[in-house]
A and B are shown apart, each in its own frame.
Chain A
Amino acid sequence: MPETGEVRKIPLIIALVLIIICVLIEISAVAFLRGNGPQGDPPGLGIPYLALVDGILGFTLALLVLALVLPQHLQAKLQGIVSVILSFFLALGSIVLIFIALGKLFLMIALFFAVPFGTAAYFAAGWGTFPRGAAAAILSLLMLLKIVASICLPIAHQRFLVAKGLILLIATSFVATIIVAFLHGLVPLPAVSITDALAAIIVGILALIWAIVMLVGSIVAVVQALTTS
């Protein structure tokens, strides 16, 4: 049994692995949610965009695992630099992805309500047949993995329960998943692609906020590390 204050490695590593699996499922969900349109464009954006938020969570857990194996002085420097680079590109990527989803959302809305030619084009593009069942199955699996990962964290160490940043990040991940599931179920099937793009935008904004918070935090940490050394 670990001593008081010591982090149990196995539950923490399990939590990290589960979140990495979540990110991989979210990214590969594109293949499962392929549309029926002649171009085979995937109609799903919401689930792949979840990888942005869960990627941040995975990165945070990876830092916690690294803290167990790396010496403290090396860990502090490495954490700051890697966080700055990663959060910068994540923020940039989130902005680009938000605009991609916005463009797609505007196009789908314009086509959907432009009866009869636009609506026909909307259905011809495969957007009218969103695989809601497959999406719900993927989201349920993600939710299960996230719940198990969340249980593993306090098992690893009870102080994770008072780490506000980590708790907020986990809560954001849950909220993002619920938003995607809710927006998939909110409208009748022909319009699900529209609300899915809306969900993707919301998830993208959540990821952007976290990326900015992480970027500011890591810049402050790097500056502090440089001034103290």
Chain B
Amino acid sequence: MIIVLVAIALIFVIAVGIGGCHGSARRGDAGAAKGLKGLQGKHFLVIGDKASTNCAIGQDRFGRQTLTVSSNSCAIVVGKRSSFRRPTRVVFFSNLPVSVSIDPVHGPHQDPQQVDANDCSAAAIDHSGGTMTFSRVVGSPTITLLRQSC
């Protein structure tokens, strides 16, 4: 029995010791967590599916939804969904620089952040919903919503 307990203690010490190997990990280095990427879900933002907007809606030649920020700003409101549903993934790019801020119902408000032209960006909003605001920087940017990862 003592041998078994010593073995358990050793395994535990090794398990804790592994943590020390990651002490100086970089912010973007997900390591083994990358294996969980597949759990992100495939529920991408679609206007009309519990999401509404006051932006001008359109479609590009590939059939993807587009939003045009014709006034100073416009927003997408993502409604509440069932608690058992996975988060809504928002993947988009804009043809012109645009400022984006996210205000989830649950969770901290995110201050506006500028996205460069044609840069693919992503966000996620949990089942409680939230508001995503686009503010124009120059011209009238057209935002294309994607239904796949960047």
Contacts and interface: CB of A to CB of B under 8 A. Distances in A.
Interface stretch (A16-24, A71-79, A105-113): A105-113
A212 to B, nearest CB: 21
A170 to B, nearest CB: 10
B27 A190 contact: yes
A187 B27 CA distance: 12
B84 A185 contact: no
A188 B30 contact: yes
Contacts of A12: none
A181 B9 CA distance: 12
Contact of A115 (B19, B25, B122): B122
Nearest to B87: A110
A122 to B, nearest CB: 9
B113 interface: yes
Categorize the interface residue count of chain B.
35 or more
Interface in B100-149: 100, 102, 104, 107-108, 110, 113, 121-124, 126-127, 149
B22 A188 contact: yes
A178 B12 contact: yes
B63 interface: no
A182 B15 contact: yes
A185 B19 contact: yes
10 contacts: A106-B86, A121-B110, A128-B27, A139-B12, A147-B8, A150-B5, A151-B1, A182-B15, A185-B21, A190-B27
Interface of A: 37-39, 99, 103, 105-107, 109-121, 123-125, 128, 132, 136, 139-140, 143, 147, 150-151, 154, 161, 174, 177-178, 181-182, 184-191, 194-195, 198
Interface of B: 1, 5, 8-9, 11-12, 15-23, 25-33, 36-37, 39-41, 83-84, 86-87, 89-91, 100, 102, 104, 107-108, 110, 113, 121-124, 126-127, 149-150
